Amino acid sequence: MKICQLFLFLKKFRFYMRKLLFLFLLPELFFAQVRQDLFISLTTGDSLDATYFIPLSPPPPAGYPVMIFVHGFGQSKNSDTASARIYAYSNYFTLCYSVRGHGKSSGLSTIMSVRERQDLKEIIQFVENLDFVDTNSIGVIGGSQGGLHALWSIADSLSNCAIADVIIPNWASNLFEQGAIKRTFGVLLKNPQVRYHPIRDTLWNLLLQDCYDSLNTLFPTGRNLNQSELQNKSIPLMLFLKYQDHYFEASGGIDFFNQYNGIKKMYLGTGGHFSDSYEEEWYYQFSWITQWFNQFLKKINTGILDLPMYTYAYSRLPMDSLGYFSWIRNEVSELPFDRLVYHKFYFHPDSTIKYSLPVSSNSFFLLANNYRDTNYTFETAYADNFTGTRFDSAFGKSTIIFTSDPLNEDVLMFGAPRAQFFFIPNADKVPINLQIYEQDSLGNKYFITRINYVGRNLSSGVLYNANIKGNFHSHKFLQGNRIRIEITNIDKTNRQVLGQYPFVFPVFKKSEIFIGTNLNYASYIELPLLKSEYVLRIGDGIVSNFELYQNYPNPFNAQTNIEYSLQEEANIKLVIYDILGKEVKVLFSGNQKSGRYRAVFYPKNLASGVYLCKLEVLNKGQSIVIIKKMLFVK
């Protein structure tokens, strides 16, 4: 207890010392540059409210390097003036402005579309016409709406480096996925701080009528940034992608980043729209920004390029009093996709998830969408924020709970979960939401991530098969805890941050669906699990002997699974050899309890050919050796 109190004291001491240092430097910061407030005229006749700061020190021979700050949706230049002032103190010319329809700028917001993109071009043209700036050292930085502006600056070759936070190129399509519409799409359409173009009213009316296909066609047009616009660019890019984000899911950003040809660096972790707020991760991310701009705008070797290209963080227990996980950071030269295995957990009639298929031949469970009051419309529910007594009276939440056995060891999930459902609906439109939790030994549950799906244009009584994907997250499940899956009609969780609001809009139609949990129609969830030991215990039932099974797939290319059974607790060694008997990889060496195990072998820098998998078991003074041949084909 005393150690914990000391830790909290030191943490608070550090926080207040930073504040005192800032207050001490504030007068110097305030008088170290010239501030100019102005309106920048556009070719449309509109004008954007802007502020720029000029350092007092003389410009370098080529002119001051430039940093342009763009704010998030619903904000204004005031969100960025403090940052602009600080960087001007570091001898940058800095400019921030209010996007059209925001703050004191004129014009109307088209919701992050072609008009705002053209405005950015004109802002940068204004800056380039100043005779004291270096037009070859212009950087753009922003988050969310501002992050999209940073990506536009790359696509249109407007900047010399960029930093984009909490945004992905296909951001507009990302709000509509698998038939579901994210609740935050409504927030974009109804922000009281924004003055909208009439397109907003068209979109809102389509939303009121639940015109999913029309929205998913109209809204992304002119808003998504196509991969072809970015693939041939080489402007240095720093990209921040976040888990738990209520707008933009990280997977699309990872795919884009991996294909981007320029100098690049990525952070994948927390700090997005309504993500966990973790102080150490914020400081880490902020430290990159100055290094990145100094590297490419001031041409100073900051060492940022000597660091690994990727940093990813994963969440884990314990949580703090605000409901935020602990976060552990990893710096790596590549993300660990080559060590991932998607493990299938089948839903069983006894409310468990297991590796084995269910035995029953005719088992289904019922998920009801109890929309009770047809007079309670979408518009009314939106006004109620989809919470409160009226909403709960109109909508009954239906939840089916499944849990795994206690985990035998820590397991790291990295990636987007997937699921397959066999279901029979009684209506043409039905919701299925999966929520993934970690459950501790006391039964407390901790929300991690989700999968959302709305089946549309269905026929009553027909059997359907839905393959769906969830939101990317990295989380370590702890030994002794359970994986808990909740399937529900309304995606509210127990998370302290916005858990009381549905992540996607509810379906305003009464329905029932029967979801298969039987041998013939076995629904399951797949979790992308990463094990540093490469071995996962997959069953602890009665095992009659020591056995090494044939690997699968076989022949194999990227990876292969190797399963074995231990009749009793034993000391084992699982090793891969080449055909000449040379050791290639030790998959496991040590003591293991009885049960069935799965190892995953990832061939690296190996020639095609036959390899041997050898299981050696030392049990009660006797040695048991089993060997299987495997064929690796490049």
> What is the mean pLDDT of the segment spanning 104-108?
98
Average of pLDDT values for 460-470? 98
Whether 400 shows a pLDDT value over 80: the answer reads yes
Quote the pLDDT of residue 599: 87
Q: Which distant-in-sequence residues (6+ apart) come within 8 Å of 64 by Cβ?
A: 54, 55, 91, 92, 93, 132, 133, 134
Is 2's pLDDT higher than 60? no
Q: Is the pLDDT of residue 22 over 50?
A: no
Among the listed residues 492, 432, 510, 508, the one whose alpha carbon sits nearest the alpha carbon of residue 208:
508
Residue whose C-alpha is closest to residue 560's, from 616, 628, 626, 483: 628
Same domain for 576 and 561: yes
pLDDT tens-digit readout, 227-282: 889 989 999 999 999 999 999 999 999 999 999 999 999 999 999 999 999 999 99
Using alpha carbons, select from 250, 72, 239, 243 the residue that is nearest to residue 163.
239
CB within 8 Å of 588: residues ≥ 6 apart: 533, 534, 535, 572, 573, 574, 599
Is residue 579 located within the same domain as residue 510?
Answer: no
Output the pLDDT for position 8: 40
By residue range, what is the domain housing residue 391? 339-530
pLDDT at 23 > cutoff 50: no
Quote the tokens at residue 289: 């920004």
Does residue 509 register a pLDDT over 70? Answer: yes
pLDDT digits (tens, 9 = 90+) for 320-368: 999 999 999 999 888 988 778 899 999 999 999 998 899 988 999 999 9
CA atoms within 13 A on the CB side of 53: 27
> At residue 208, what is the residue type?
L
Least confident of 47-56, 63-72, 141-150, 277-286: 277-286
Give yes or no for a contact between 99 and 143, defined as CB atoms under 8 angstroms apart.
no
Please report the pLDDT score of residue 604 as a whole number. Answer: 80
Cα distance between residue 262 and residue 356, in whole Å:
46
Regarding whether 501 and 420 lie in a shared domain, the answer is yes
Q: What is the pLDDT of residue 474?
A: 97
Whether this model's pTM surpasses 0.75:
yes
> Could you tell me the CATH number of the domain that includes residue 571?
2.60.40.2550
How much is the mean pLDDT over the chain? 92
Q: Are residues 309 and 456 in the same domain?
A: no
State how far Cα 114 lies from the chain centre: 26
Residue 447 contacts residue 495 (beta carbons within 8 Å): yes
Domain total in the chain: 4
Give the model confidence (pLDDT) of 125-173 as tens digits.
999 999 999 999 999 999 999 999 999 999 999 999 999 999 999 999 9
125 DSSP 8-state letter: H
State yes or no: pLDDT of 19 exceeds 60. no
Same-domain status, 300 and 253: yes
The predicted model gives 29-34 an average pLDDT of 68
Q: Is the domain of 324 the same as that of 403?
A: no
Chosen domain end from 530, 550, 567: 530
Tell me: pLDDT of 7 over 70.
no
> CATH number for the domain including 198?
3.40.50.1820
Same domain, 330 and 381: no
What pLDDT score does 605 carry? 85
Whether residue 355 sits in one domain with residue 452: yes
Q: Are residues 90 and 133 in the same domain?
A: yes
Please indicate, yes or no, whether residues 318 and 347 belong to a single structural domain of this protein. no
Confidence of residue 17 (pLDDT cuts 50, 70, 90): very low
Q: What's residue 609's pLDDT?
A: 96
Q: Is the pLDDT of residue 21 over 70?
A: no
* Whether residue 5 has pLDDT greater than 80: no
Q: What whole-number percentage of the chain has pLDDT above 90?
A: 83
> How far is Cα 191 from Cα 356, in angstroms, rounded to an integer?
48
221 and 106 in one domain?
A: yes
What pLDDT is attached to residue 30? 54
Output the CA–CA distances (angstroms, integers) from residue 306 to 255, 303, 465, in the order listed: 23, 5, 48
Alpha helices in 112-198 (DSSP H): 114-128, 145-155, 183-189
